């Protein structure tokens, strides 16, 4: 844990807050809103309280407060003012900021408090679409820019998975209302990014269908075995980083050859699907560019 990042560059603050580094420097110089530490070579460094303050200032600024006015407030007034102005309009951005802080601090209590605040006003589906999906999209960019570590990403992902499992179980114990097809959900070999697939499992159950959730690294031949047990199957595969571009079309063709017939369909989603050659696709293969698009198709 000693290697976990708790001191940030101004570029990190830009990535986490959405405020340009140039603007942060101006705010510091004109209004003294942050007091960065300095290295021996005069490079700005910021601690977690500075990040929290900037995220709160960003929300106030987005809400219409002038930075010159915010700068006059006592330190303790800014978070209390944020709490006062939170509404449906600002709840999403505030919740995402709070979840980011929970992640950066490895603070489970803040995560649960923020989630409980949301669930008091919204359905789990609304929370996932309005908050968790944008949050996870941001985390991917933060990880790529080295703003957060894998430890941060795994910490917050696990907590979201917990909520998904709890809400999924509530649906699994209900009697299915639609019996014309069964959904089989899996990830390709060596694919470990499971959160999106887990949410799709929740959505399919919410629509009244039976699901068979198989998860990570599922060989195609094992998927084929499900045809012995069910008559009409929709296979759903979530491709975030696997298969790699060089073998992607070949892999999809193997899935088509081994799984498709008049009673089965293949639904593909994830970052990698943009690289699939769609001209070669079989008729019963559907490609989706987002979770929302796939859910609308169920």
Q: How confident is the model at residue 287 (pLDDT cuts 50, 70, 90)?
A: very high
Mean pLDDT of 45-66: 86
- 29 and 110 housed in the same domain: no
Where is the domain boundary, 58, 85, 112?
85
* Cα gap 58→87, rounded to integer Å: 15
181: domain CATH number is 3.40.50.280
- 108 and 73 housed in the same domain: no
Residue 102 structural domain: 87-172
Percent with pLDDT over 70 in the chain: 96
Torsion of CA 131, 207, 160, 51, to 10 degrees: 0
- 179 and 205 housed in the same domain: yes
Tell me phi and psi for residue 103, to 5 degrees: -65, -50
Where is the domain boundary, 172, 200, 228?
172
What digits encode the pLDDT tens for the residues 250-270? 999 999 999 999 999 999 999
Instruction: Identify which of 130, 154, 131 has the alpha carbon closest to the alpha carbon of residue 143.
Output: 154
What digits encode the pLDDT tens for the residues 211-252? 999 999 999 999 999 999 999 999 999 999 899 999 999 999
- 17 and 42 housed in the same domain: yes
Q: What is the pLDDT of residue 2?
A: 41
- 21 and 51 housed in the same domain: yes
Query: pTM, whole model, 2 decimals?
Result: 0.79
- 74 and 94 housed in the same domain: no
| CA 141, 151, 195, 49 torsion-angle sign | negative
- 87 versus 117: which is more confidently predicted? 117
- 127 and 97 housed in the same domain: yes
4: domain CATH number is 1.10.1660.10
Q: Are the C-beta atoms of 259 and 278 separated by less than 8 Å? A: no
- 209 versus 47: which is more confidently predicted? 209
Q: What is the pLDDT of residue 237?
A: 98
- 156 and 182 housed in the same domain: no
- 118 and 34 housed in the same domain: no
Instruction: Identify which of 135, 201, 194 has the alpha carbon closest to the alpha carbon of residue 170.
Output: 201
Where is the domain boundary, 152, 172, 192?
172
pLDDT of 1 > 50? The answer is no
User: Domain tally for the chain?
Assistant: 3
120: domain CATH number is 1.10.1240
- 73 and 128 housed in the same domain: no
Q: How confident is the model at residue 290 (pLDDT cuts 50, 70, 90)?
A: very high
């Amino acid at each position: 844990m000693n290697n976990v990042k708790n001191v940030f560059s101004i570029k990190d603050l830009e990535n986490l807050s959405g405020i340009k580094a140039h603007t942060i420097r101006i705010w510091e110089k004109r209004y003294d809103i942050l007091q960065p530490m300095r290295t021996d070579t005069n490079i700005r460094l910021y601690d977690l309280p500075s990040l929290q303050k900037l995220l709160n200032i960003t929300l106030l600024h987005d809400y219409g407060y002038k930075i010159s006015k915010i700068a006059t407030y006592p330190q303790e007034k800014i978070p209390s003012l944020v709490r006062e102005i939170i509404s449906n309009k600002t709840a999403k951005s505030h919740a995402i900021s709070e979840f980011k802080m929970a992640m950066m601090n490895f603070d489970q209590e803040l995560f649960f408090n923020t989630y409980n605040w949301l669930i008091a006003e919204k359905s789990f589906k609304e929370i996932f679409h309005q908050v968790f999906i944008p949050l996870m999209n941001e985390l991917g960019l933060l990880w790529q820019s080295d703003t957060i570590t894998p430890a941060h990403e795994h910490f917050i992902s696990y907590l979201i998975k917990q909520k998904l499992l709890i809400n999924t179980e509530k649906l699994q114990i209900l009697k299915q209302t639609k019996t014309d097809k069964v959904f089989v959900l899996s990830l390709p070999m060596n694919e470990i990014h499971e959160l999106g697939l887990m949410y799709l499992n929740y959505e399919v159950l919410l629509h009244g269908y039976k699901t068979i959730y198989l998860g990570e690294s599922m060989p195609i031949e094992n998927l084929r075995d499900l045809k012995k047990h069910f008559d009409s199957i929709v296979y759903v595969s979530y491709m975030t980083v696997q298969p790699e571009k060089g073998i992607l079309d070949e892999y999809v063709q193997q899935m088509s050859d081994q799984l498709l017939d008049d009673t089965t369909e293949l639904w593909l989603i994830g970052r990698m699907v943009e690289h699939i050659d769609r001209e070669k696709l079989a008729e019963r293969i559907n490609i989706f560019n987002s979770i929302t698009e796939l859910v609308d198709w169920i």
